[in-house]
A and B are shown apart, each in its own frame.
Chain A
Amino acid sequence: MEKTEAHWVASMTSIAQHKDQKAFAEVFRHFAPRVKAFLIKSGADYALAEECMQDVMATLWHKAHLYDPSRASVATWIFTIARNRKIDLLRRYARPEPEDLPWGPEDAPDQVDAIALQQESTKLVDAVRKLPQKQRDLIERAYFGDLTHNEIAAETGLPLGTIKSRIRLALERLRHAMN
């Protein structure tokens, strides 16, 4: 059975707080094959994709304490690490990343915000899954990097609008989480 977002968030907390190798192995079994598939579809060969995927999963272990469930789903956080590592390796420059938000004890992730984000994130995954195959392929290709976004907008039309409204909902939650 498919694990819920709450399950993966709990795994991340356990890795961060208890260096939980069992939780890590489970996260690895689920996400590593997807990260590797993402890298292959982005143009990496099998050997490079395996190497890069291992870097991504090792980074996940060491950065687990920086993961904030009120700002991104686990899949999204892993996606951003994989995307950055891909750029480091394929294009050979360190990707410029935004400055971290100021962080203090009072900014600890709020449980309610985190749950709201998990719900929105799950809805977004569902919305992408329900797209007709052709449109889904276009969105995927945009994120693998072989299609410009103007082409996406032209070819997807209304379904992209659906996705955008889903994003807007997610954004409201995100904005709330940041206030």
Chain B
Amino acid sequence: MPAIRHHVPDDLLMGYAAGVLPQAFDLVVAAHVSLNDDARVRLAGYEELGGAVLSDLGEAELAPDSLEQTLAKISRMQPTERSAPTGGVFPAPLRKMIGGDASAVKWKSIARGTKQAVLCADGDATARLLYIPAGQAMPEHSHRGTEMTLVLQGGYSSEDGHFQRGDLEVAGQQTHHTPIADDDGEDCICLVATDGRLRFDGLLPRIAQVFLRI
């Protein structure tokens, strides 16, 4: 039975702290951390490790006028204000990438009310938003790489358990699943990052795969 992962695994969190993940995965981790305090403190730990590494580094030689140039740069920059938290469906990193909240998404219809919007694609890693009407199933699929799914609105159930807002499901190579959106009136919106091309099972979904480019 596949392990249920409602939280971000350590290797992805450490990768995010180190800044070595593809952009699509950075986005999902940042959005998950925004909604989950447990992930936030674990991330803080891995960032402390980064700070410890920095503290212990040797010193590179600076340009002779390095400090003067930096002070000149400071005088040219605008002061940074603390960003005010704003309510909404989407956490800040996602709103920043879209340029607005859920209403600003440029959805493309897939089938039966299911919609998607590709946000970024960087090599094989893609981040997209999925919109699944309440009670409806996503096409059954398995995948070659890693897939991270973060629930932003509503919820869904799959063979791996039940997931709701803030929960993260990380599915590896062998996972076969058929997520079904909760049937409680609220449509489900998920942020999904994948790093390999998904394989859908069944003919119609395979056509959808070509259409979706996933």
Task: Find out whether the CB atom of A171 lies under 8 angstroms from the CB atom of B45.
Answer: yes
Contact size range, A: 35 or more
Task: Find out whether the CB atom of B31 lies under 8 angstroms from the CB atom of A34.
Answer: no
Task: Find out whether the CB atom of B61 lies under 8 angstroms from the CB atom of A98.
Answer: no
Bitwise, B130-147 to A at CB < 8 A (1) or not (0) is 000000000000000000
Q: How far is the CB of A108 from chain B (nearest CB, A)?
A: 13
Main secondary structure of the interface of B (DSSP, over half): helix
State whether A171 and B58 are in contact (beta carbons under 8 Å apart), knowing that A80-B50, A98-B93 are contacts in the complex.
Answer: no
Bitwise, B17-61 to A at CB < 8 A (1) or not (0) is 111100100110111011001001111111111111111111111
**Chain B residues whose C-beta falls within 8 Å of the C-beta of A153 in the assembled complex:** 11
Task: Find out whether the CB atom of A145 lies under 8 angstroms from the CB atom of B19.
Answer: yes
Task: Find out whether the CB atom of B73 lies under 8 angstroms from the CB atom of A54.
Answer: yes
Within 8 A of B (CB), among A114-133: 120-121, 124-125, 127-129
Task: Find out whether the CB atom of A28 lies under 8 angstroms from the CB atom of B80.
Answer: no
Task: Find out whether the CB atom of B54 lies under 8 angstroms from the CB atom of A178.
Answer: no
Of B51, B56, B80, which contacts A72 at CB under 8 A?
B51
Can you show 5 pairs from A to B with CB atoms below 8 A apart?
Answer: A36-B59, A75-B52, A143-B50, A150-B11, A171-B44
3 closest cross-chain pairs (CB), A and B: A76-B51, A33-B59, A99-B92
Other than A36-B59, A142-B14, give 6 A-B pairs with Cβ distance below 8 A.
A28-B70, A37-B58, A79-B51, A125-B52, A125-B55, A143-B50
